[in-house]
């Protein structure tokens, strides 16, 4: 299935060839972004397919989401005949993305120094756990760096560190890898030479922690407690229960919003209370104010409460579950969910990149590929004739097409 962009703008990375040697989320998310922006991304998989295809549990959606708009070449790149194909492909590429263990590409003579000799224009995007330094050879996972970087501590209640509910650091590392790659391509336009781009999980989570580092410095070294402790900058910034047994988040973040809340919800007594005149006063009053406001909100079901909050122009959000996004009216109206066929034929709708540029929204051009779906197409573009492709197939250098 495909979705059409809302503008006739030419995709900004059209004509850029990317070779992706990646797995799981960090590397594939980087490749997906470049593919969405118009690059030809050729995912080189083992002959039996990327191992992520076979994951179950929380990993069951990894391949289907992070590999749209790509071509699949299933290749035994460790055999001499398969390696020759890979080298030829890299000679023709603008970008290589890899997120294998530190040192593994160099051992295979596919590190930056090796590939610079065969393609000096190549932008080499290496995605790892850590940027260069004492930890650079350590293995890492999204959850590892969430613990190491303080995100898990800030997410869970005191004494109960908790990883975020999605692979936020893997995805952020992929975003910064794609960002660095686009900048390196721009630099290559000036100099004619490629070079190494590095993005890492640990430094990505530390970047996310910057606001907490700043507040610690401003507070003379007193660190903020985890988010569930709700040391809030605003008096009303909570999850509340509704009359129909649902949960909603409501934030009242200014004095003018407080006045509108009191007016729309008929809370003249709270409006007249001198102890609640300013946000800082209301923060002091939180121990008794939040329960009082909770009682006001609990008189209404979710739909009525949402309308009242809209009338008062205060922030409101139901506490939704991921599956509710499939039918979200805003996403359906603006085309943010693209109809997608996952490997195996499952039909669904999945999110596009969350931005528009000059009226253009990066579209779904092709569904995530089957193993080796583009073997013949990619090899023919490299100059292999039918006999050459047949020989590679006979030697079991290629996976199923």
Q: Where are the alpha helices (DSSP H) in 237-341?
A: 255-264, 268-272, 279-284, 286-297, 302-312, 329-334
Determine the Cα–Cα distance for residues 8 and 25; give it in Å rounded to an integer: 31
DSSP 136: T
Cβ atoms of residues 277 and 339 within 8 Å: no
Per DSSP, the three-state class of 239 is: strand
* CA distances for 128 relative to 30, 82, 299, angstroms: 12, 25, 51
Catalytic residues: 170
d(CA 129, CA 169): 10
List Cβ neighbours of 202 (8 Å cut-off, separation of 6 or more). Answer: 129, 130, 131, 135, 140, 145, 148, 149
Nearest alpha-carbon partner for 63 in 114, 110, 22, 10: 22
* C-beta of residue 135 within 8 angstroms of C-beta of residue 129: yes
Distance CA 178, CA 197 (A): 9
325-352 burial, b at 16+ Cβ within 10 Å, e below that, comes to beeeeeeeeeebbbebbbbeeeeebbeb
Two tokens, residue 202: 């640990």
- Closest by Cα among 128, 95, 120 to 200: 128
- Residue carrying structure tokens 């590999």: 67
Tokens of 387: 């006999």
Report the sign of the C-alpha dihedral through residues 322, 371, 382, 184, in that order.
positive
Question: Element (H or E) spanning 250, and its range?
Answer: strand 247-252
Q: What is the DSSP string of 56-108?
A: -GGGGGHHHHHTTTEEEEEB-TTSHHHHHHHHHHHHT-SEEEE-PSTTHHHHT
* Closest CA relative to residue 374, chosen from 93, 87, 69, 90: 69
């Amino acid at each position: 299935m495909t979705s059409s962009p809302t503008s006739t703008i030419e995709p900004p990375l059209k004509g850029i060839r990317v070779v992706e040697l990646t797995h799981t989320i960090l590397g594939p998310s980087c490749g997906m972004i470049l593919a969405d922006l118009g690059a030809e991304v050729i995912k080189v998989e083992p002959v039996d397919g990327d191992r992520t295809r076979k994951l179950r549990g929380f990993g069951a959606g990894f391949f289907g989401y992070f590999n749209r708009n790509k071509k699949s070449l299933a290749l035994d790149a460790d055999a001499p005949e398969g390696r020759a194909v890979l080298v030829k492909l890299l000679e023709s590429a603008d970008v290589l993305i890899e997120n294998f263990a530190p040192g593994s590409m160099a051992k295979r003579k596919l590190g930056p120094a090796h590939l610079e000799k065969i393609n000096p224009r190549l932008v080499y995007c290496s995605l790892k756990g850590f940027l260069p330094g004492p930890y650079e050879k350590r293995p890492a996972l999204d959850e590892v760096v969430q613990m190491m970087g303080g995100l898990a501590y800030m997410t869970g209640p005191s004494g109960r560190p908790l990883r975020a509910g999605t692979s936020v650091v893997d995805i952020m590392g992929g975003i910064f890898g794609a960002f660095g790659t686009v900048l390196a391509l721009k630099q290559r336009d000036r100099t004619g030479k490629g070079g190494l781009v590095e993005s890492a999980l640990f430094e990505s989570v530390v970047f996310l922690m910057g606001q907490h580092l700043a507040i610690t410095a401003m507070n003379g070294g007193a660190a903020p407690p985890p988010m569930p402790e709700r040391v809030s900058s605003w008096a009303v910034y909570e999850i509340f229960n509704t009359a129909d047994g649902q949960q909603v988040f409501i934030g009242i973040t200014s004095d003018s919003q407080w006045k509108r809340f009191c007016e729309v919800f008929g809370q003249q007594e709270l409006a007249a209370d001198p102890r609640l005149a300013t946000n800082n006063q209301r923060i002091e009053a939180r121990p008794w104010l939040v329960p009082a406001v909770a009682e006001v909100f609990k008189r209404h079901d979710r739909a009525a409460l949402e309308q009242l909050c809209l009338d008062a122009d205060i922030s409101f959000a139901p506490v939704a579950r991921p599956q509710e996004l499939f039918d979200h009216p805003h996403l359906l109206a603006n085309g943010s969910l693209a109809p997608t066929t996952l490997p195996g034929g499952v039909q669904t709708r999945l999110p596009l990149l969350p931005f528009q540029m000059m009226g253009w929204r990066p579209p779904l051009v092709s569904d995530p590929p089957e193993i080796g779906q583009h073997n013949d197409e990619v090899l023919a573009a490299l100059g292999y004739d039918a006999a050459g492709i047949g020989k590679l197939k006979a030697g079991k250098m290629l996976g199923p097409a």
